[in-house]
Amino acid sequence: MKFILRTCAAMLASAALLGAQHWVNPDVETHRIDLRDLGYPEVNQIPANSSAITSLLAVPGGKVYGGTSGEEAYLFLYDPAINKVRHLGKIKGEQGIHHALGQDSRGFLYLGTGLNVLRQLELTRKIPNARDSISNALWEDVKKPYRSYAGGHLYRYDPNTGDRQVLLPDDLSPVEDLGIAVPNNGIYALTIDAARHIVYGVSYPDGHFFEYDIGQKRFRDLGELDREIFFHGPERDWRSLPRALVVDDAGRVYTSGEDGFLVFHDPQDDKLVSTGLRIPGEYYPVQAYTGHPVAECFVKDAKGLIYGGSSDGFLFSFDPAARKLVNLGKPRLSRRLRALAVGKDGRVYMVAGERIEPCRLFSFDPQGGGFRDLGIIAVDRSPYYSWRGYQFDSMATGADGAIYLGESERRSHLFLYLP
């Protein structure tokens, strides 16, 4: 009888192991990828439904900070010295920190908040029989939650004092409220010109470009980035607006604007100017169609070259000095480049895919190597733990060269990839 029980136990263990091995990524060595829980399980882990990682920021000291979206927004950090994630409290009354983390020259973190853009949008069924009625009804549905929303706040966080605290899930983050950026709008994307002490951002859903002068403690609305209201997709219930900004070495702030053109704000002229260069995407030159791709993500390499990803899934490079934009291609048939990071090895790493499918990890070698498909983003440490990630919306390169990926699901983790 004991022999039979041992045999059955061995068969069950083998079956479980084989089941776990089914999730092993065949395209990359499995020891190069791992994950971390967002806190200590059953103690102070960021709860499900509030753990989708929608912002990541790696700072020079080695730590990686992140912001979440969901029922409540949380701030957290990964400290490689202890190899763990610690949450830094929830942001009172806020649902999301979407592509909105930055650090100034003094080491303070700035985070922008808004409603949870990943939430399911309530759609009306009352659509009149008229031209543009569907898009107009969709725009009303998008605007509806923001009419009662005062607006996304800009917060400042001091790591020197905040990182020392040990917080429980219901504790509030020790952040300083700097005010509302654009009334009745959330902060959709954010970047910082650390040299000039200016925070720049994009609001949602009205698409205003704004700045915050750190020294003067003053917001300024710099106008609309795109006057056309359209839903190019692939998220058909999101208004198409740029989801990223980047500052070049001269202090110009780049993003995408009307008709898919790369635009920039020059602080010397204080104007928003088109480069005359279109970001790569699927353009439809047909009658009565309005729409174009938007910038999803930007990253800058050590030499100042800017890499960008479009909502249609294309990777491109932009040399600000030469005003030269190069379409580097599309790693995947489906749309969206969700996040970018430049590795210490000089390669560009990216997450590609729409929200209706599992994301895949790719790399691009600027030295003529082209794209490499690194496959699904899955961890197998069975029999201890295993997890397959489906949705990701943020990336960052750590001081040690590790690539950090923020999962954006109901229950999410911080993934680590070692090139």
pLDDT for 332-347, tens place per residue?
A: 999 999 999 999 999 9
Q: Is 13 inside any structural domain? A: no
Residue carrying the six token digits 């499995």: 30
The pair of structure tokens assigned to 98 is: 């979407």
For 137, list phi and psi in degrees, rounded to 5.
-65, -40
Alpha-carbon distance 292 to 283, whole Å?
A: 6
pLDDT for res 16: 46
The pair of structure tokens assigned to 397 is: 């390169």
Domain count, the chain: 1
CATH number at residue 166: 2.130.10.10
Q: What is the pTM of this model?
A: 0.93
pLDDT for res 285: 76
Alpha-carbon distance 51 to 247, whole Å?
A: 29
Q: Is 22 inside any structural domain? A: no
SS3 (DSSP) at 159: helix
Q: Is 273 inside any structural domain? A: yes
Q: Is 49 inside any structural domain? A: yes
Whether the CB-CB separation of 294 and 230 falls below 8 Å is answered with: no
Residue segments in the chain with a per-residue pLDDT below the cut of 70 = 1-24, 130-131, 287-288
Q: Is 16 inside any structural domain? A: no
Q: Is 129 inside any structural domain? A: yes
Q: Is 15 inside any structural domain? A: no
Q: Is 17 inside any structural domain? A: no
Distances (CA, A) of 206 to 192, 211, 243, 264, 326: 21, 15, 13, 18, 30
Whether the CB-CB separation of 54 and 118 falls below 8 Å is answered with: yes
* Pairing state between β 73-79 and 64-69: antiparallel
Whether the CB-CB separation of 113 and 152 falls below 8 Å is answered with: yes
Whether the CB-CB separation of 263 and 246 falls below 8 Å is answered with: no
pLDDT for res 131: 63
DSSP 47: P
Domain span at residue 187 reads 27-417
Helices (H) then strands (E): counts for the chain: 3, 29
